[in-house]
Amino acid sequence: MSFRRISILAALTLLAGTLAIGTARAQSNTVADFTLKTAANASVSLKNFAGNKAVVVVFVNPACAFSRLYQDRLAALSSAYRSKGVEFLFINVPINLDPAGNAAPGEVTLPTLTDASQQVSALLGVSKTAEAVVLQPSAGGFAIRYRGAIDDNPQMAGSVQQAYLKQVLDNVLAGRAAGVADKRAAGCLIKR
């Protein structure tokens, strides 16, 4: 076989593998319970929200500019959907900071849980802050309905054209498919 054919075959194999991984990540799977601590050292378990219509888990970090840019939008979404049976859990995770130390620490005023061992970020397959996961109670635990970006413009709330998280929540609450199952999030990488 010629080098060109081998290269094309290798590229097709790589593409097929990438598509398979993306499809597997986007498919709805079920997650088991997890328990995290609040700032006051109280335990919060996912199973406590089995009676809710949905649970949104959002990963944040005060040193991440994306987390700070999204906090008002996330607070508004949490407030708007709480009365509709949706619970928001904000999880503070460590991030990879600029080696030069240029990442300015900020403040995230959302009530956060701590995932120091990163068990939940690994369990839910997230890699960035601010990334959201929509969970819906199901017979075997909680089914993942969406994982990814909150909207299409992390920098300017007024310029958002696609509010992914809001659209998914509206679809889930209406008993429809989520619409989009996975949308790449822009943000700070979670430290592994």
pLDDT tens digits, residue range 11-45?
Answer: 556 555 544 444 344 444 888 889 998 888 899 99
Cα separations in angstroms, 4 against 9, 75, 186? 9, 54, 36
* Residue 146 confidence (pLDDT) above 70: yes
Domain-embedded: residue 80: yes
* CA–CA separation, 179 and 170 (whole Å): 10
Asked if 129 and 93 count as a contact pair (C-beta separation under 8 A), the reply is yes
Q: Which domain holds residue 133?
A: 28-189
Domain-embedded: residue 10: no
Domain-embedded: residue 110: yes
Cα separations in angstroms, 119 against 31, 33, 116, 123, 166? 12, 11, 8, 6, 26
End-to-end CA distance of the chain: 41
Q: What's the pLDDT tens digit per position in 75-121?
A: 999 999 999 999 999 999 888 764 444 445 556 677 889 887 888 98
Q: What is the pTM of this model?
A: 0.78
pLDDT band at 8 (very low <50, low <70, confident <90, very high): low
Domain-embedded: residue 8: no
- The residues that bridge with 142 in the sheet, in sequence order, are 31, 137
Domain-embedded: residue 175: yes
Domain-embedded: residue 131: yes
Domain-embedded: residue 56: yes
Total number of domains constituting the chain: 1
Q: What's the pLDDT tens digit per position in 158-174?
A: 888 888 999 999 999 99
Cα separations in angstroms, 132 against 12, 168, 173? 31, 11, 17
pLDDT of residue 24: 43
Domain-embedded: residue 1: no
* CATH code: domain of residue 165: 3.40.30.10
* CA–CA separation, 124 and 24 (whole Å): 13
Q: Is the peptide bond before 16 cis (omega within 30 degrees of 0)?
A: no
- Rounded to 5°, the CA angle 109-192-124 comes to 70
CB atoms within 10 A of CB 112: 21
